[in-house]
Amino acid sequence: MKPQIVKWSSSTENNRYLEIILTRLRIGHTRLTHSHYFTRSDPPICRCGAPLSIIHLLSCTSYANVRSRLACPPSLTDDQEGIDALFSFLRTTNLIDKI
């Protein structure tokens, strides 16, 4: 969470789809983590067995090798290089369309 209400310097995606994904990740409300509220199903569980959340995805040991290889930061920073690595991680793990 940002300490002040100011514009994100990394919110300059030319692609609206990617900007929507980035916003959903920042607020922690994604189809992947919150669709169970609409379908009245059980909350999602990660493949490692833990409850699924955005924070968990960025720190889960199941994805550690991929995150390390892509230099994906462990949190959502306001750094364009980190955001690019995050999108690479989401594409590589086939999670981007589930956000």
Backbone torsion region of residue 26, taken as left when φ is above 0, otherwise alpha when ψ lies between -120 and 50, otherwise beta? alpha
Looking at residue 51, the DSSP 8-state letter turns out to be: B
Is 9 contained in some domain?
A: no
67 within domain boundaries: yes
Q: Could you tell me the CA-to-CA distances from 71 to 35, 74, 77, 83, 87 in Å, in that order? A: 29, 9, 13, 10, 11
- Read off the pLDDT of residues 31-87 as tens digits, 9 standing for 90 and up: 999 999 999 999 999 999 999 999 999 999 999 999 999 999 888 877 888 899 999
Q: How many domains does the chain have?
A: 1
pLDDT recorded at residue 10: 57
3 assigned to some structural domain: no
Q: Is residue 54 part of a domain?
A: yes
Give me the phi and psi of 45, to 5 degrees please. Answer: -120, 135
Per-residue pLDDT tens for 25-41?
988 999 999 999 999 99
Reported as a pLDDT band with limits 50, 70 and 90, residue 11 is low
Taking the whole predicted model, whether its pTM rises above 0.85 is answered as: no
Nearest by Cα to 76 from 6, 7, 10: 10
Q: Answer yes or no: is 7 within a domain.
A: no
Q: Could you list the residue range(s) of the whole structural domain that residue 76 is in?
A: 16-98
